[in-house]
Amino acid sequence: MNDYLNLPADLPVSEDDGAANHLPGRRMPHLELPSTAGEAVHVE
């Protein structure tokens, strides 16, 4: 399958299992990623 815009007809629907319920409102740890320009991007 090379068409990433159309999902397969038999793809199961995902279900929320609640495993991330503790995350809303929490601070994200410091994250720095390299950009395509070679500079660091700070994600906040």
Q: What is the pLDDT of residue 20?
A: 94
CA distance 32 to 35: 10
Q: What is the pLDDT along the chain (44 residues), one digit of tens a residue?
A: 578 888 888 999 999 999 999 999 999 889 999 999 999 999 87
Sign of CA pseudo-dihedral 16, 20, 21, 23: negative
Q: What is the pLDDT of residue 28?
A: 86
Q: How far is residue 15 from each of residues 4, 12, 18, 19, measured CA to CA in Å?
A: 21, 9, 9, 11
How many helices (H) and strands (E) the chain has is answered by 0, 2
